[in-house]
Structure 1
Amino acid sequence: MSSPSAPFLSLAPIVTRRAFLGGLASASGLVMLHPFAAQANANQAHLRLMETTDIHVHVYPYDYYGDKPNETLGLSRTASIIDAIRAEAGNTLLVDNGDFLQGNPMGDFMAYQKGLKEGDVHPVIKAMNLLGYEAGTLGNHEFNYGLDFMAKALSGANFPYVCANLTTGTLAEDPTRDALFFKPYTIIEKTVTDGSGATSLLKIGLIGFVPPQIMLWDVKNLEGKAQTRDIVEAARSWVPVMKEDGADIIVALSHSGIDGSGQTDRMENASLYLAGVEGIDAVLTGHQHLVFPGPKSFDGIAGVDPVKGTLQGKPAVMAGFWGSHLGLIDLLLERDGKSWKIVDFTTEARPIYHREDKTVVADVNDRADVLAAAKAEHEATLAYVRTPVGKTSAPLYSYFALVADDPSVQIVSQAQTWYVRDMLKETAWKDLPVLSAAAPFKAGGRGGADYYTDVPAGDIAIKNVADLYLYPNTVQAVVITGAQVENWLEMSAGMFNRLAPGQTDQPLLSTGFPSYNFDVIDGVTYEIDLSQPARFDTDGKLADATAHRITDLKFDGQPIDPARKFVVATNNYRAGGGGKFPEIASDKVVFAAPDTNRDVIVRYIHDQGTINPAADANWRFKPLPGTTALFETGPKARPLLGQVKAAKIEDAGDGADGFARFRLVL
């Protein structure tokens, strides 16, 4: 997700990111100053705003689900460049933009196992205290463990938290009269040094915002205890108060992303419109787990310049997630009498790693004192993820996931259905039936003959979830019709070659179709007729209007109504158009969860105690007498042949490259 640094504006010469990453000149020990710091005039000062966002408890560069190090994340890595980045600047301010308290097993361990007693400091807060953070705001995930735990965690911070749109009760007619959980803003006074070496007082106002949707996402923790106000509405009321209170410049800490679809009341991703509030000078964003500036994610949105790094002409930054980047906004300030104004700026999201081909290369090392601060909790978390959190009554394997209903896919769908039903129970879609779409991720192919999910029956640990769900997707739900459900399945059926009835040992699987696009939809029953050609090509375009591989499609035992509406639980990749499934795109999304699919699976296992992932055989191939097809899978599948109920499969000997060959009898 790394993005090119923004070009410097008119007052500054071009400086490459390579030069920045050089940091300290090794031979001379001299610091390479930012041009604003090096060239400021007598009445000018350089201020560097530094942002972290969406840390999600990733202090260590470690994937607790996979139980292995990860070079792309970790506040200990981000921390290691902060000193050098401070040294490049005249004056600096470091803040966090929320979502630090939940998001990986260390967060769960602290909340559910260890807890916080009086005097305890949360490991993320310990790291932030070490690094000298000066303020923070709240993200939606701060509320996941309840208000009491959040309060205990925040009490350990050596810096203030601000939030202007979270109240303790009923909304007042005037937002400035709301009873707020936190101070709406803070004003930090800094003695800044100008270009001549003279010092002056600069008052920096910081105001924070949380997505109003926390009242839906965490209703169990917040109902009757809190209320949220529209972000832009709150800003318009509080910014003038901040000006009256003496703020020279105002920076919004907005745990809210960038959405150009048009301003609406209580919108989740309101940062673009927040930037339009008079008096706000810069916006620090987050929540979307994206990088800004950067041309890929925000091209074509009116009011957004993804190269210069501006929202409605004002400097803005979004620093990725999990510590992947440090967000930087550099301001050249000019004193005019008793007031300050911004005369130039640059923005950058500086990464902690880069990719060379498909290899991740770390650009920085860990900061030792940050690792030391969280060492005890890290080691306890390792023990936690390796400890069973539930049981599975049947083995979880994906050896036959492409030819029969499969337990590893089944458990993902069960968890998604459980979660989405609960999240939508108080919404306009509460009465719609919930289906679930899930695909096998580990299904051999280029990964080799051992690249399959294989978790035995019995105890299941949190790290086993990585075997079930490889990617850090988030849960989303779409509302579509029965006809669109059918086309979704028709697209998935492109996994298979067309078979000639009556012929034997034909190749079954299409080599150009990735397994992660073979979605099985639970909640309906259906057959796949392999004598038919594929209805859609790999780009989701209609290839044969007469083709219908999906037959006998039923819901609740009856033929599916093409016009009936259904909620389908899936992930953000598919719901956003990933895989180019026909008519499945972001305009169908009715719920975008704050939680990853992995986290939902863990919660489901914890809730159930013992899960029953046995496949329910809701799909099968249509019989074609006299027809067989060959496919390859891992050799460890052989002892499991008798467990496959939805298809007749025979051992057909050894395949190539360590695979085993099997025969599907149709």
Structure 2
Amino acid sequence: MENPPADARTARLRLLATTDLHMNLTGFDYYADRPDPTVGLTRTAQLIRAARREAESLGWQTLLVDNGDSLQGTALGDWAAEQTTDRHPLMQAFDLLGYDAVGLGNHDFEFGLGKLEEILAQSPCPVLCSNMRLIGSRAPWQPSLILNRTLQAEGQPVPIRVGVLSVLPPQTTQWAAHHLDGVAEVSDILETAEATAHDLRQQGCDVVIALAHSGLSTEMARPGLENAVVPLAAIDAIDAIVAGHTHLTLPGKGHEGLRQVEQTTGKVHGKPVVMPGSAGSHLGVIDLTLTRSAHDRLRVTESCSALRAIYGRDQTGIPQPTVSEDPQLTKVFAKGHAATRIQMRKPVGRTTTPLHSYFSFCAPDRGLALVAAAQAAALRGFLEGRSEAELPLLSATAPSKFGGRAGPRHYTDVPAGEMSMRHVADLHVFPNELRAVIVSGRQIRDWLEMSACLFNRIKPGSRDSALIDPSRAGHNFDVLHGLEYAIDPSGPARFRLDGSLIAPDHNRIDHLTWNGQPLCDEQHFVVALNNYRASGGGHFAALAGAEAVDLPPIRIQEILRDYIAGRRPKDPLEQTPPPWRFADLGGTQVILRTGPDARRYLGDIAALKPVPLGTDTEGFLQIRLTL
């Protein structure tokens, strides 16, 4: 930031931001069918209105933006995408709250380009994406935006031109290849942002804001970065950044040790940055002081970044709302809310045992086993009469609800008894489609080694080390059903986060067998999996050269629904032993963080001698396990 000259006049601009709403419009969990005070635009709206009132009382101008991944992520989002009679509820909310611009994130393409175009046509404000273009057709978004506003500088009106750009991960076309392959191209975040910001300056913009659906990482500037906010902030022409994608918060903890990042102030390379969590949990606020001398343009000379949360936690870790739900938005969402609850209550079948994900990272997960069997049953049907049917069949699954950055309530929890559609959605949250690949035993071993990188390296004989590496995403913990293997977390990880090899002799997978026999490198298998993993999501190098099996498009949620309802035959995978276990580490003790409701199921992990240690400041239950 620059020092103002002696004859300068100052004005102020407040930027308000949301990100990664994932269609959490109400303070309600549709999977558990209960209120949830930790989510919901209905609460964030109250913070938006309050922040605006503050700014107006001080004579400041306000801008309101969203940073993408707003359209997909809850059962309400699925309902909104399917219905065609009413205006999309999120577009109604953006209208009511007076959003000035909206960026796109990678998950906004999950329903396909046609549906996205239909929804964006209802937007009350410009929709931006600077680094994606469609091939041979016009995109329903624009690459950048200039907002002309008037500020007050010591009682005098001062015109200002604010440029806004928006970037998303270049991997988006890979993750959503079933919708975007051959029809869209994504350019590099840094190259695009620098060129677009420069162009906005050339058009006379006094301030340039970057909506970056991207996180912060330790990686240096290079082409193709997924989480590029740190080098993005070093671009001179950019004044402020709204970050997202990783569901973390800034200012706030979660970015310790990153160079050029002041996590308590939100400054990155000295620039103001906010990352407002996810699901409406926080409102990002950036206050900019702009200075103008008699012969100069407006310049940002001071800034302040802050987050405002919709909830806090009491001494026992239970979340308590800090604001009520906005009555206007609640009324707007009432129809969709009621319709979604009705849809989620539709009966599907039964389960004789509870299905939950509290112990997905330390013991066999019956919910994942059910999804795996459903995938396998569907794949067998598609392969009937084809040469691939002669190969042994495996099924890969990973937890979609595992706490982590989404908080201690974000776990699958299906009680024994009647199952409805909300339970199906609870078992597999995402609108993924079924895919299949043919892989060798060697590829399978590398696949599992990448999955096992979820764990911290544990020293044998140690006590109370954290079991899980928080930098690794839980949805990348693939379990291959139909095999048996042990995971030894005392060994070094074979792969880095980006899938690059650390060392080929680093091993955590042991006693890998199929049909009771050691797995051979040259054996081949056909594996059922989801489109995200098959398209390269999670950076599994073992799948880069896998042979794809041609299948018709079908969602895994539909497959699971039909399997539970008995419309598909029971699959032999249901009769196979649990796929994995921990290697014996001679009584080594580790700490697992999980949801507090896991107390009800401690008997499921009796072999690990669980000892509950209470909840931490974020509300997670800590359990000591013995390996």
Offset of residue 452 of structure 1: 7.7
Offset of residue 91 of structure 1: 1.5
Q: Which residue in the other structure is 1:574 paired with? A: none
Q: 1:191 aligns with which of 140, 143, 150?
A: 150
Matches within 5 A, 1:58-207: 58-89=24-55, 90-112=60-82, 114=83, 116-117=84-85, 120-169=86-135, 181-194=140-153, 196-207=154-165
Q: Secondary structure at the match of 1:615?
A: helix
Offset of residue 601 of structure 1: 6.3
- CA distances 1:595-642 after superposition (whole Å, capped 9, x unpaired): xxxxx86355257674647732324999xxxxxxxxxx9999xxxxxx
Q: Which residue in the other structure is 2:345 paired with? A: 386
Q: Which residue in the other structure is 1:376 paired with? A: 335
Offset of residue 60 of structure 1: 0.8
Q: Which residue in the other structure is 2:323 paired with? A: 364
Offset of residue 238 of structure 1: 1.8
Q: Which residue in the other structure is 1:307 paired with? A: 264
Amino acid at match of 1:554: T
For the 8 Å contact 1:256–1:268, the answer to whether it is kept is: yes
Offset of residue 202 of structure 1: 0.8
Matches within 5 A, 1:494-509: none
Amino acid at match of 2:62: T
Amino acid at match of 1:462: R
Q: Which residue in the other structure is 1:222 paired with? A: 180
Amino acid at match of 1:376: K
Q: Which residue in the other structure is 2:277 paired with? A: 320
Offset of residue 255 of structure 1: 1.2
Between the two proteins, what is the percent identity of the paired residues?
30
1:605 aligns with 2:557: no
Structure 2 length-normalised TM: 0.67
Q: Secondary structure at the match of 1:58?
A: coil
Amino acid at match of 1:94: L
Offset of residue 564 of structure 1: 10
Whole-Å Cα distance in 1 between the matches of residues 261 and 523 of structure 2?
Answer: 38
Structure 1 length-normalised TM: 0.63
1:291 aligns with 2:249: yes
Amino acid at match of 2:63: L
Matches within 5 A, 1:208-287: 208-287=166-245
For the 8 Å contact 2:266–2:305, the answer to whether it is kept is: yes
Q: Secondary structure at the match of 2:194?
A: helix
Offset of residue 62 of structure 1: 0.3
Give the 3 Å change call, closer, same or farther, for CA 484–381 of structure 1 in structure 2: closer
Aligned length: 499
Whole-Å Cα distance in 2 between the matches of residues 291 and 441 of structure 1?
Answer: 19
Whole-Å Cα distance in 2 between the matches of residues 527 and 590 of structure 1?
Answer: 17
Whole-Å Cα distance in 2 between the matches of residues 243 and 210 of structure 1?
Answer: 21
Q: Secondary structure at the match of 1:374?
A: helix
Whole-Å Cα distance in 1 between the matches of residues 515 and 70 of structure 2?
Answer: 43
- CA distances 1:201-224 after superposition (whole Å, capped 9, x unpaired): 011111111222221122222223
Amino acid at match of 1:69: P
Q: Which residue in the other structure is 1:173 paired with? A: none
Whole-Å Cα distance in 1 between the matches of residues 539 and 184 of structure 2?
Answer: 30
Q: Secondary structure at the match of 1:342?
A: strand
Q: 1:461 aligns with which of 421, 442, 460?
A: 421
Offset of residue 395 of structure 1: 4.0
Whole-Å Cα distance in 1 between the matches of residues 121 and 232 of structure 2?
Answer: 29
Whole-Å Cα distance in 1 between the matches of residues 274 and 106 of structure 2?
Answer: 19
Whole-Å Cα distance in 2 between the matches of residues 269 and 155 of structure 1?
Answer: 29
- In our comparison, the structure showing a higher alpha carbon Rg is 1
Whole-Å Cα distance in 2 between the matches of residues 487 and 219 of structure 1?
Answer: 22
Whole-Å Cα distance in 2 between the matches of residues 220 and 487 of structure 1?
Answer: 24
For the 8 Å contact 2:213–2:243, the answer to whether it is kept is: yes
Matches within 5 A, 1:543-582: 553-555=512-514, 558-560=517-519
Give the 3 Å change call, closer, same or farther, for CA 200–554 of structure 1 in structure 2: same
For the 8 Å contact 1:317–1:329, the answer to whether it is kept is: yes
Q: Secondary structure at the match of 2:278?
A: coil
